[in-house]
Amino acid sequence: MKPQIWLFALSAACFSFTSLANSGVESVVATKPVAANEPEPVKVVRQFIQAFNNHSVEQLLKHTTPNIHWSNVSTMKMDIQTSSQNELGAAMTDYFASLNNAKATLRRVTVTGNYVSTVEEVQWSHDGEPSSQCSLGVYQLNGDKINAVWYYPAHACDEQVWQDAAKPEIVQPEIGLLKETRQ
């Protein structure tokens, strides 16, 4: 796994609550308090991202299975970057050595069964120039450990985080109006 895949792939994940504050972007996930009844797979992914933000390879690996598979998905192919904790540990050590200020933020999280999909933003600076990018990630869990991760191509982050209605407006049926119209 090359250090660049975390720019293309992990392109973002944590709970670095301050990273979006400076950008003027409001993140639904980053500002929302962690729910006590949050699904266990989401908690594991949050902890993994926090370990990323701490630049702790040891903490990262605690949240993975011994045969963690890390893949980058593109239009025509999927590149397997790691197939073990040792490979992931070596890749992350190299990554943190080259980008020692990278922080990730989860902008969106969806969970279904043992899969957690995320929109992640990674922010870093190189030669004093701040940079960021987003990516879609999908984590597969085996119990309370991450077993596989797929990252899709990195892209510029949206200016605003799209938010579907958590409490959709309830529109009353127009039955009475329809009856009046038919008369």
Q: Can you give the residue ranges of every domain in the chain?
A: 5-182
Which of these, 8, 34, 74, 51, lies nearest to 146 by C-alpha position? 51
Tens-digit pLDDT profile for residues 3-23: 444 433 443 333 332 333 333
What pTM, to 2 d.p., does this model score? 0.71
Q: Which CATH class is domain 5-182?
A: alpha beta
Q: How far apart are alpha carbons 148 and 32 in whole angstroms?
A: 26
Tens-digit pLDDT profile for residues 121-147: 999 998 889 999 999 999 999 999 999
Q: β-strands 145-151, 103-112: how paired? A: unpaired
Torsion angle, alpha carbons of 11, 13, 18, 24, to 10: 50
